[in-house]
Every structure is written in C-alpha cells, then in structure tokens.
Amino acid sequence: MILALGLVIVPPAQAKVYMPAAGATFNDPTGVYASPTALMDQIIEATNNVPSGSIIRFVAYSFDYQPMANALLAAKKRGAQVRLLIDSHAETTQIKQLRSALGTGTSDGSYLRTCKYSCMANTSSFIHSKLYLFSRTGGATRVSMNSSANPAETGVSKSWNNTYTTVGDKAIYDANVDNFNDMLPDKTNTDYYHTVESPPLKEYFFPRAGSTKKSDTIYNILNDVGCSKTGPTSTVRLTTYFWTSARIYLAEKLSALKTAGCKVEVIYPDGPGSQDTIYSQVTDELRSTAIDTWNTRPNNGLYVHNKVILIDGTYQGVGGQKLVYATSQNLTLTSLRESNEVMLRIPNDPRAYTAYFNNFQQIKSQSVQIIGSAAAKTTAGVNSTSSEKRSSKAPKDNSPDPDE
C-alpha cells in the first residue's frame, strides 16, 4: 500500500562515528593562532568517546583541569577502566576527587597512582611524561597522544604546547603501555633508556644512565647535524622550557653548529624571580655566537612549554632531511638521568614538519628577540638571563616546571 501511494521509506541517518585525528595539534594561550584549550579539548573528546570495557591510561606531571577530571569520572561511570599515573609534587582538588572515585588499588582496573619521586629513581625526580592512551575511542583503537601538555590550567591559559597523535599504531601504543606498566612498581631503574621503532616513527624512553654528554640523546642528535659555510647548510630550531648549566654542553654544541655554518634559532621563557628557567651560563653561551634567541615571558608572562627540536638540512651525512623531535624532557640533568620522560622522532613527514615549523614561527612572532643581529637594544631590559639581572634564587636543577 505504501508503495502504491508512491511513498519512499528512508532509513534513519546513521550517527557519524568519532575518529581521533592523527598528527600534530597545538594550542595558543593568546588565542591568536589556535584555541587555548585545543589540546585539552582533543583529549576530552577522545575520553568522551571511550566505550565501556575499554582502557584509558594517562601519565602526567600536573593535574588541576576540572573539565578533564569530569570527563574521566564520566568514562568510569560508563564502564571504562581509568588508570592514572600522576606526579606527587602537588595534591590538587581534582587529584583528590579522582583518587576518591578510582581508588589506588589495581584490582578493578581503575586507579590513580603516584610514585615517591619518579617511578624509576630514589632521588629527587619526577613523573614528567605526558601520555594519553586509549585502547579504543570511537571507531579507533590503540590511540597514543604524546604531548608536552599537562591537564592543568597553566597548560591552557599560560603556555604553548603540542600533541602528536598516532591512531592504530600497535608498536607505539604497546610501547607506551609497556612504559606505563613499567612505572607502576615504583622501583629504581635509572638504566631504563630504550627506543622503539615503528617506521618512520621512533620513540625514546628515559631515564638514561651515564655521566657524559655522549650518553645524552639530545647531544647526540645535535652532533649528527651537518653544517657548511660554503654550500647548502642546515637549520636547527629548538624550543625548551627549562635549561640549566648542568647541560651547558648542549648550548656549546649549538654554538659550535652556528660557528660551523648552520643557522640556529632558540625560543625559551625566562623572567625574574620564580620565573627563572634559563640559567645565565646558558644564555651567555648562546650570546657568545649571537644565536638568534627569543623570550616568550615579556608577553604577559606567557611561556613556551614545547620541548621540540626541528632539523632542516643534513643529518647523519644525508642532505635534504626534515626531522621533528618532540619530547617531554627539559634540558636539565634530572630530566635526563632520573625522571620519567618520553621523546618522539618524526622524520621526513612534510605535513608534520610544516605544522611544527609554523608553530615555531607563530610563537616566535609573539616573543621578544633578546640575542642575535636583529635584536633591538631596547629589549635588553627584559633579558633577565644576563648575569647582573639573574635572581640568586634560581630553581634547582631537579625542578622541572616552576610554574606548575
């Protein structure tokens, strides 16, 4: 009868299945180039789409972002397992709330755990990785988000951060889960350093044992850059949050690259008093070869929290390379030798490199140049890293994030 009347029965539209976007994402605390909440929104959306029976694992240094806590609590109520490893340096309202709901035991699959220091050291150190892992979310499985961003208000309103997401990459996901599980026993193992490859990606896990710069992964990366004064050369761009004199040799290596003909650019945050994050010896070394350096602090006290190295040129003797190294690690000795840290290498991916390069340029455009041929003399007053303006109460080498 329906057909005779000429009616057509149309099935109801199917709801679009959520799929997390793979690749690089950035926030901007100023809101000029991206939303301040872009990274938190991305993680919350993935959390909101985790079905019952799936597992969420977070590793972070700070946690005081209430919308994230709400999303995790809702996921637990839906039947997802929520497993959190959060550093013990601060006891926030959100941590108390989550611990109360999740517990600390592992019997039911959900918990919030901490370690005394890092989970692999017995001296002052930190859980400093930022990993957001989902066994399933929406239509995706094995989702890893390697990030510089903590689920913290400062990661939204005060700092620039980045996240690199892999979807369905079993090797990277399993390596991150293994790292999470290796941290749980809170057992000293400062010789934990290892790498996992899922071509083209490579992931590095710390702490790394050693006593010289030759056992510093970042030094070895810089040491593999080729420079030239007469032909095509390389450019190294570096952003960091905290840099102490214990790893002054990294600044010395950048100076050597500049002297050998490479172009070198650095962005960091530094300010007076409790905002001292770059030791004067480091800035003095960068100044010795006039390495182009920008400071984000004069922009309303904002800070770059990305820890990224971009290499464009010759690497390990091969020209035309474009590499991204995105890490949670500050340039302190504790970050290298004691703390739980993760780094991801993304080689020769034009889309990823362009995204990170553009982000570098955007942050630079919102910073004050303090070193380099183009630095205006009028900016000298904001260069708090000069020896005469340096606070006598600079953070100790084992303090990774004074702002958080």
Q: Over range 269-288, report the average pLDDT.
A: 92
pLDDT band at 272 (very low <50, low <70, confident <90, very high): confident
CA distances from 261 to 63, 315, 341 (A): 43, 14, 32
Reduce the DSSP state of residue 280 to 3 states and report it: helix
Proportion of the chain above pLDDT 70, given as a percent: 89
Q: Smallest Cα–Cα separation from 54: which of 39, 26, 76, 31?
A: 76
Residue 10's pLDDT is what?
A: 56
pLDDT band at 398 (very low <50, low <70, confident <90, very high): confident
Q: Smallest Cα–Cα separation from 89: which of 129, 128, 147?
A: 128
**Domain spans, the chain:** 23-201, 208-337+367-389
φ/ψ (deg, to 5) at 98 = -70, -40
pLDDT digits (tens, 9 = 90+) for 336-373: 999 999 999 999 999 999 999 999 999 999 999 999 96
The pLDDT of residue 374 is above 90: no
Beta-ladder partners of 164: 24, 146
pLDDT band at 381 (very low <50, low <70, confident <90, very high): very low
pLDDT digits (tens, 9 = 90+) for 191-215: 999 999 999 999 999 999 999 999 9
Residue 379's pLDDT is what?
A: 37
Can you say whether the dihedral through the CA atoms of 356, 362, 365, 369 is positive or negative?
negative
What is the gyration radius of the CA atoms in the chain, in angstroms? 22
- CATH node for 23-201: 3.30.870.10
φ/ψ (deg, to 5) at 78 = -75, -10
Residue 275's pLDDT is what?
A: 85
Q: Over range 167-173, report the average pLDDT.
A: 98
Please tell me if the domain spanning 23-201 has the same topology as the one spanning 208-337+367-389: yes
Place of tokens 């056992």: 215
- CATH node for 208-337+367-389: 3.30.870
pLDDT digits (tens, 9 = 90+) for 238-254: 999 999 999 999 999 99
Distance of CA 121 to the CA centre of its chain: 21
The pLDDT of residue 231 is above 60: yes
The pLDDT of residue 404 is above 60: no
Reduce the DSSP state of residue 122 to 3 states and report it: coil
Residue 368's pLDDT is what?
A: 97
Proportion of the chain above pLDDT 90, given as a percent: 85
What per-residue string of b and e applies to 131-145 under the rule 16 or more CB within 10 Å gives b? bbbbbbbbebebbbb
pLDDT digits (tens, 9 = 90+) for 11-59: 566 679 999 999 999 999 999 999 999 999 999 999 999 999 999 999 9
